Amino acid sequence: MAIFAVHYAYGPMKAQRRDEHRPQHREWLGEEFRAGNVLSCGPYPDGSGALIMIRAESLDGAEAFLANDPFIAHEAVDGVRVVEWTQVFGPFDS
């Protein structure tokens, strides 16, 4: 399986929607972390977005996986960028 870096972009217009759905979003992230699909995640300190590192078979698989995130389902993010990432050194098992 490949590793993908998922960058969420946040803007002020959807802040209330994110606040409303954050508990479900974090519950989903926790479940997927325990299942081994989410490797690491967290928001950027400046509030501009978040980074989620995930495992998936392909880009299409990563995008299908993210469709289950309540933030995506409820259109609480302003932009999503998904890119395959190659770990050279680090904590994630290959």
Q: Please give the average pLDDT of every successive group of 10 residues along the chain, which has 94 residues.
A: 97 97 98 98 97 98 98 98 95 81
Overall fold of domain 2-85: Alpha-Beta Plaits (3.30.70)
Round to whole Å and give the CA distance between 76 and 55: 22
Position 84 scores a pLDDT of 98
Position 94 scores a pLDDT of 66
What tokens does 18 get? 């994110």
| DSSP 3-state of 93 | coil
Domain boundaries, the chain: 2-85
